[in-house]
Structure 1
Amino acid sequence: MSSLPALLPADPEAPFPPAERALRQPDGLLAVGGDLSPARLLNAYRHGIFPWYSAGQPILWWCPDPRTVFATDHVRLSSKFRRSLRRCDWTVRADTAFAEVIEACARTPRPGQHGTWIIDDMRVAYQRMHALGYAHSFEVFDGERLVGGIYGIAVGRMFFGESMFSAQPGGSKVALAALAHHLDHWGWPLIDAQVENDHLLSLGAQRWPRRRFLETVADLRDQPELRGPWTARVGDWPARRLGITGDQAPAAD
């Protein structure tokens, strides 16, 4: 295995190197360079690869092993949090505030992280993907105030989560659980969460070997699914429905 990542050619249609060539240290670094054009991004996600880099760096492309994922029927919310949601007036919508969600994700401080990897070029690229019908957001509103959200890329029936945020406690949990609930009901079994952390694991994230993840992506990416906004599919969905035991897998307090 090479000790250096591959250098991508200028052609956005050029294939990525096989994911198995990704470095062990840093885990999953596969390639450097290229651009964030829709063609390049779609090519990457279709092969389980995502961009992740900071200001001043070249574009870095990753496919770590293991891969962190959520089964859409197994996002865990504590019993205490579920009980609080039964009295909650929050509303969940989709694709009504994509730019606001990605901006909030960029502003939200992360433990152990200085600055943000969601730099201007990333925001522009994913807003372009949203306009093309590939990038989606789930938004949590308290009245008309945005209190949480999540965004990512949909290819076939595979959802690749990118980032989420909370402006009030529990906002990101509701966004993730509502996304998983709807995807499960639409027949989408998996959400990619990329790299593990304690918060994701507490919500039910699983570690999959890269090979298993890539085989699943290869099956789901070509399954038919309509592109475009999900706004009408979700409507104004009451977050209190997540407080009903059985909507998603409950966790102990």
Structure 2
Amino acid sequence: MVKLDPKEITFPDPEFYDGHEGIIAYGGDLSADRVWFAYQNGIFPWFNPDEEILWWCPDPRFVLFPEEVKISKSMKKILDRNIFTFTENQCFEEVIRNCQQTARKDQDGTWLSEELIQVFLQFHRYGLAKSIEVWQNDELVGGFYGLKIGNVFCGESMFSKVSNASKAGFITFVEKNKDSLTLIDCQSHTPHLESLGARMIAKKDFLHILKDNYQI
């Protein structure tokens, strides 16, 4: 792993540097400029708040191609019943804080530090980050957020307070954006997203797709 200089925004090229188990660098800082530069290059921060900042670019990469989204018969019935309604960017901070507070299986605490939350709030103000909200009876019951890098959406985290809320929101988002998004970056494997059609691809292929779909 490469140790980053807090005064210089650089990373090792993830296409040619594998690091250790997907971690390509540590240290540096969480300035908005560094975090945005990282995502442009397929790198994301993921660490416990009381530990060193870790920067990841795993190989293989867990992604979803919008045209490959899977909608089960049970989910089709739920969507047809219209028990949920969906919005975008109506309460970004509430979504990200719900993601922070949601307990995760096999995780002690959260990787979403207050410093990182403030960076994403800044991205949202700049129009770089968006949230998807899922409502039931006028109550926020699920949602997720992420960054849009050109035609690639980098999903960060999701939460659900009632069964199937986050699934319904994700499927609706993918269906709505099939023509405008080339890829959804899911970062690391989860059974939840695998059931919706996400799969592993080689890191090199992911980085090429990201580069080809990002217009500076």
TM band (smaller chain): over 0.9
The equivalences for 1:102-181 within 5 A come to: 102-181=96-175
CA-CA distance at 1:101 after TM superposition: 0.7
- The one-letter amino acid paired with 1:170 is N
**Whole-angstrom distance in 1 between the partners of 2:7 and 2:128:** 21
**Whole-angstrom distance in 1 between the partners of 2:170 and 2:74:** 17
**Whole-angstrom distance in 2 between the partners of 1:107 and 1:148:** 12
Deviations 1:88-147 (A, max 9, x none): 232111001110111111111111111111121111111111111111111111132111
Deviations 1:188-217 (A, max 9, x none): 111000001222211111100000000000
Indicate the SS of the match to 2:133.
Answer: strand
Taking structure 1 as the reference length, what is the TM-score of the superposition?
Answer: 0.81
**Whole-angstrom distance in 1 between the partners of 2:31 and 2:169:** 27
Match of 1:52 among 33, 46, 58: 46
**1:52/1:117 contact within 8 Å kept:** yes
Indicate the SS of the match to 2:55.
Answer: strand
Name 1:22's counterpart in structure 2: 18
Name 1:198's counterpart in structure 2: 191
**Whole-angstrom distance in 2 between the partners of 1:84 and 1:152:** 25
**1:22/1:62 contact within 8 Å kept:** no
**Whole-angstrom distance in 2 between the partners of 1:79 and 1:219:** 35
Q: Does 1:219 align with 2:216?
A: no
Across the two proteins, how many residue pairs are aligned to each other?
A: 215
Indicate the SS of the match to 2:154.
Answer: strand
Taking structure 2 as the reference length, what is the TM-score of the superposition?
Answer: 0.95
RMSD: 1.4
Q: Does 1:36 align with 2:30?
A: yes
Indicate the SS of the match to 1:203.
Answer: coil
- The one-letter amino acid paired with 1:18 is D
CA-CA distance at 1:21 after TM superposition: 1.6
Indicate the SS of the match to 1:102.
Answer: helix
Q: Which runs of 5+ in 1 are unaligned?
A: 224-253
- The one-letter amino acid paired with 1:215 is H
CA-CA distance at 1:50 after TM superposition: 0.3
**1:139/1:150 contact within 8 Å kept:** yes
Q: Does 1:8 align with 2:4?
A: yes
**2:75/2:168 contact within 8 Å kept:** no
CA-CA distance at 1:172 after TM superposition: 0.8
**1:148/1:174 contact within 8 Å kept:** no
CA-CA distance at 1:154 after TM superposition: 0.9
**2:146/2:157 contact within 8 Å kept:** yes
Name 2:201's counterpart in structure 1: 208
**Whole-angstrom distance in 2 between the partners of 1:41 and 1:141:** 30
Deviations 1:38-87 (A, max 9, x none): 21111101110000010211211000000000111222121012112211
